[in-house]
Amino acid sequence: MESYVVKITSKGQVTIPKALRDKFHLLEGETAIMIPVSEGVMLKHELNPMRNLRGILRQEMDVEKASRFIEKIRGEWRLE
């Protein structure tokens, strides 16, 4: 497992490394939840139904592949 060293400022702030922000789609201005766990703290996205899922998936989704998959599934579910 990778690890990252960060400094805690006098205000208790840390900077989340860019690699982690990118990997977990953490965007500027979002709110998050910090949960105490036995090993330390866990940072999670706040459960927000208004979050733009399309924006999260934009870089990961292969639109052509998704379209082929949808058509395949539709074909399997057609009533005869």
At 39, list the tokens. 């090993």
What predicted TM-score, i.e. pTM, was given to this entire model? Answer: 0.54
Q: For position 4, what pLDDT does the model report? A: 92
Q: For position 7, what pLDDT does the model report? A: 95
Domain ranges, ordered by start, for the chain: 18-76
Radius of gyration of the chain from its Cα atoms, rounded to whole angstroms: 19
Rounded to an integer, what distance in angstroms lies between the CA atom of residue 25 and that of residue 43? 12
Q: For position 61, what pLDDT does the model report? A: 64
Q: For position 15, what pLDDT does the model report? A: 94
Q: How far is CA 38 from CA 3, 14, 15, 35, in A?
A: 17, 20, 22, 10
| pLDDT tens for each residue of 23-80 | 888 888 888 888 999 989 988 877 665 555 555 555 566 778 878 888 888 777 766 5
Provide the b/e sequence for 31-57 (b: ≥16 CB within 10 Å): eeeeeeeeeeeeeeeeeeeeeeeeeee
